[in-house]
Amino acid sequence: MINRRSTLKSLALGAVSFLAIAAGGAFSAQAENKELKIGFVGVTSGPAAAWGTSNVRSMQTRADWLNEAGGVKIGEDTYNITIVTFDDQKDPKRAIAGMEKMAQEGIHYVVGPNVDDGAAAVRPVAESKGIIYFPYAFPKALYTPPASNAVLGMVANYQSGPAIYKYLKENKGVKKVAFIAANESDPLSQRDSGVAAAKELGLEVVAEKDTYQNDTRDFTPVLTPIVQLKPDLLVLSGVAPANAPLLIRAARELGYEGLISAETAQDATVLQEGAGELANGFISVGGASTPEIRTPVMEEFIDRYTKKFGEYNDESNTKVYALEYIIETLKANPKAIDNVDEFKKTMDTFSAPNPYAKDSTLKFVGATSFGQKRQLSVPMVVTEFKDGAFQTLFVGEVD
């Protein structure tokens, strides 16, 4: 006889069974996802840490987002993304150790290193262990044949510099330029290519050898003789985000009234805190996104990044791209998941909608600069700092 009590008991048991099956199903679906490890080797401590930290945080934000949405389908399998990080402390020896660690973990795609000497140092390891890596470093030798495993993750200074100088020459009447750089390989090479570009444009270079130690805290003595040369434009070659506000502030306080620019990305909050209104008018390469060109996906990325880490870094607009390119290229050719030769083949023809910028596509570029497609196509946004925020000066593209 079926009474009310047994009916309730049966219903309860049925509900519990259903929930258990549903939960089990969900769990097994989750468990079915494979793991795709993507590496990061770069600087996340010291004065240049802002570059590497924004890099790794962008990757972590995007990976969490994709995993939350159920993972990434590549071929027949769905993968959860795991970011494996290594702080090379801006030391080439540690960068090599980091790349070796990635190889030991079976990782084929690594973002970084962030600086020239680190990126050059890891090349033998990457090539011998079958790793494609995405440096934020500018030496052309890394991207031109016979090198083929490095893919430049951003716009190089020798691509943005000439564009900026040309714009300032034509629009702001710049004639005399002075360069200053930290006494380190990246800034020095950026300075040299900047000097060459300026001379090619017919600008008079009044200072091209001035350097400073990267750990300088007071730039007044460094800038005093340069300011006395009265250049129209002061270029801070390869300037680290930590040093930019100090240099700007010292130059302005010494009475310099000309333009100041840099070909590296900067952080608006750092500029505002360090130089305040003295940084108004400072021109730099922005974070590859402006309110006009960004899509709702980029808006959500910024929102998620801010919630996850408490504060957004404008440069992450650039750094979000590397992971996206890796995943989309693997989607286009699933065989590349553990075969970088397949990845290289796909790069020549790869194209996908850019989720972060309107009317834009993800594609590999660099044919003009490197003779092969070894660069991510990231919008070249040149910005001017004003009252705590970057304003777009112009947007360009590298071919």
- Positions touching another protein (CB under 8 A) are 44-47, 49-50, 53, 183, 209-213, 215, 217-218, 220-222, 224-225, 241-243, 245-246, 253-255, 267, 269-270, 273-276, 311, 313
Q: What's the token pair of residue 260?
A: 């100041």
Min CB(119)–another protein separation in Å: 20
User: In this structure, are residues 246 and 215 in contact, taking their beta carbons and an 8 Å threshold?
Assistant: no
Distance (Å, whole) CA 371 – CA 399 = 11
Min CB(54)–another protein separation in Å: 9
Distance (Å, whole) CA 124 – CA 122 = 6
Taking the alpha carbons of 343, 344, 345, 346 in that order, is the dihedral positive or negative? Answer: positive
CB nearer another protein, residue 81 or residue 234: 234
Min CB(228)–another protein separation in Å: 9
What is the torsion angle, in degrees rounded to the nearest 10, for the CA atoms of residue 286, residue 287, residue 293 and residue 295? -170
Min CB(229)–another protein separation in Å: 11
CB nearer another protein, residue 222 or residue 376: 222
**Count of Cβ atoms closer than 10 Å to residue 194 Cβ:** 30
Strands 352-353 and 283-285: unpaired
CB nearer another protein, residue 54 or residue 193: 54
Q: What Rg value do the Cα atoms of the chain yield, rounded?
A: 24
C-alpha dist (Å) from residue 172 to 165, 199, 318: 10, 17, 27
Q: What's the token pair of residue 382?
A: 């040149």
Min CB(253)–another protein separation in Å: 5
Min CB(246)–another protein separation in Å: 6
What is the torsion angle, in degrees rounded to the nearest 10, for the CA atoms of residue 271, residue 272, residue 278 and residue 283? 50
**Burial class for 124, CB neighbours closer than 10 Å (0-12, 13-18, 19+):** exposed
Min CB(129)–another protein separation in Å: 29
CB nearer another protein, residue 224 or residue 349: 224
**Count of Cβ atoms closer than 10 Å to residue 146 Cβ:** 6
CB nearer another protein, residue 46 or residue 396: 46
- Which DSSP letter does residue 219 get? -
CB nearer another protein, residue 73 or residue 93: 93
DSSP string, 15-51: HHHHHHHHHHHHHHHHHH-EEEEEEEEE--SSTTHHH
Min CB(389)–another protein separation in Å: 16
- Which DSSP letter does residue 317 get? H
CB nearer another protein, residue 82 or residue 211: 211
Length, in residues, of the chain: 399
User: In this structure, are residues 123 and 147 in contact, taking their beta carbons and an 8 Å threshold?
Assistant: yes
CB nearer another protein, residue 6 or residue 220: 220
Min CB(45)–another protein separation in Å: 6
User: In this structure, are residues 260 and 233 in contact, taking their beta carbons and an 8 Å threshold?
Assistant: yes
Min CB(32)–another protein separation in Å: 36
User: In this structure, are residues 160 and 263 in contact, taking their beta carbons and an 8 Å threshold?
Assistant: yes
C-alpha dist (Å) from residue 348 to 60, 132, 164, 367, 380: 28, 15, 29, 10, 21
CB nearer another protein, residue 9 or residue 93: 93
Min CB(231)–another protein separation in Å: 14
CB nearer another protein, residue 148 or residue 269: 269
CB nearer another protein, residue 25 or residue 225: 225
